[in-house]
Amino acid sequence: MLKQWRQRVLAVLAGGCMLFSLNAAADGELSGLSVRAFIDPTTAPFGFVQDDLTKPQGLDVDILYELQRRLGFSFYDDRIFPLMRGQQMELIKRGEADILCGGMSATDERAEFMDYSPIYFDTGMAVMYSKERNPQIKSYRDLAGKKVMAQAASSAETFVRENLPDSEVILINNIILGYFAVAYGQADAVFYDRPILEYFARTMPTLKLAVTEEILGREDSQYAFGFQKGSPYTRYFLQALRDMEYDGTLDRLKEKWGVVNAEAE
């Protein structure tokens, strides 16, 4: 699927090349445009809220502000809105959102109602477990008969449904609740995107959580920004993101958030 996504994005970029060549794309191409941007706040270090609940932080937030600097648009209400993934999907289906992000996987299902940016983070899924309560867990294959939590309507849910028929699967809407459930013995494991699990385990050492070394479901765990399907502005965002990749800006931002070496190989 990764190859297909790259082909689709390249096609969109190619479709916009004539426009850029005729109009000499420069900073401020989208000056005057107000953008409604939403980020999932449960996906640290890609998106999260800390001291100020109205001002999300994270890698994807920094990417959005860099896009604003390059293209000149403004954010509606002068802010990026934190919103859970399921609610994001409903808004973009109704045409009430312009950009979605926050560690969002580009899937075939979502492509039915949104367009995607180039993939900016190559990842995969893994298992989080308690080092004290379940030290024997080393792989998803060790989860037979165990209580496993996964984010509802996500690639993680699809994976556990297909690959863990003997596990008790519990779906949740806020993946952070799953981390604490595992730490406190209310569940045996959480299945989710590996870099997000690793970041939480590393920043909350007192919970004594660990993440398996495997990289699973890589084809369904490629992060991208989502846009309204068929929007005339999408090609500008795509080109700016591609420029950020070429000039090293994306790598510098990944390094800032400690994920420059966290991508799948």
pLDDT, tens digit (0-9, with 9 covering 90-100), for 91-112? 999 999 999 999 999 999 999 9
From CA 13, how far away is CA 16, in angstroms rounded? 5
- Note whether 118 and 149 are same-domain residues: no
121-122 and 222-223: which strand pairing?
antiparallel
Same-domain pairing of 50 and 95: yes
Residues 163 and 182 in one domain: yes
CA 17 to chain centre: 27
pLDDT exceeds 50 at position 146: yes
pLDDT band at 124 (very low <50, low <70, confident <90, very high): very high
Query: Residue 256's CB: how many other CB atoms inside 10 A?
Result: 12
Q: How would you class 205 by CB atoms within 10 Å of its CB: exposed for 0-12, middle for 13-18, buried for 19 or more? A: exposed
Least confident of 4-8, 209-213, 227-231, 258-262: 4-8
Residues with Cβ within 8 Å of 95's Cβ and at least 6 positions away in sequence, in order, are: 228
Q: What range defines the domain where residue 235 resides?
A: 2-122+221-256
User: pLDDT over 70 for what percent of the chain?
Assistant: 90
Does 116 lie in the same domain as 130?
A: no
pLDDT at 12 > cutoff 50: no
The answer on pLDDT for 18 being more than 70 is no
CA-to-CA distance for 29 and 63, rounded, in angstroms? Answer: 17
The CATH number covering residue 142 comes to 3.40.190.10
7 pLDDT exceeds 60?
no
H-type alpha helices, the chain: 2-23, 59-71, 85-93, 155-163, 175-183, 194-203, 234-246, 249-256
Q: Is the peptide bond before 45 cis (omega within 30 degrees of 0)?
A: yes
- Of the pLDDT bands very low, low, confident and very high (cuts 50, 70, 90), residue 161 is very high
Q: What's the mean pLDDT in 122-140?
A: 97
Total domains in the fold of the chain: 2
d(CA 234, CA 219) in angstroms, rounded, equals 23
Q: How confident is the model at residue 64 (pLDDT cuts 50, 70, 90)?
A: very high
Identify the pLDDT of residue 3.
Answer: 45
Distance CA 102, CA 162 (A): 25
What is the number of other CB atoms lying within 10 angstroms of the CB of residue 173?
13
Of the chain, the end-to-end C-alpha distance in Å amounts to 16
Give the pLDDT of residue 26.
Answer: 46
Mean pLDDT of the chain: 90
Whether residue 187 sits in one domain with residue 79: no
What is the rounded average pLDDT of the residues 8-17? Answer: 45
The predicted pLDDT at position 51 comes to 87
CB 187, CB 148: distance < 8 Å: yes
Mean pLDDT of 205-214: 97
> How many whole angstroms separate alpha carbon 262 and alpha carbon 265?
9
Angle between helices 175-183 and 194-203 (to 10 degrees): 50
Q: Based on the domain organization, do 90 and 116 belong to the same domain?
A: yes
Q: Is the pLDDT of residue 10 over 60?
A: no
Least reliable range by pLDDT among 24-28, 70-74, 113-117, 207-211: 24-28
Does residue 242 sit in the same domain as residue 116?
yes
Q: What is the pLDDT of residue 9?
A: 52
Whether the per-residue pLDDT at 255 is higher than 80: the answer is: yes
- Residue 159's closest CA among 131, 193, 129? 193
Q: Which pLDDT score, from 0 to 100, does residue 218 have?
A: 93
Same domain, 93 and 191: no
For residues 8 and 114, membership in a common domain is answered with yes
pTM equals 0.88
Strand partners, 35: 75
Q: Which region among 23-37, 62-76, 143-157, 203-217 has the lowest average model confidence (pLDDT)? A: 23-37
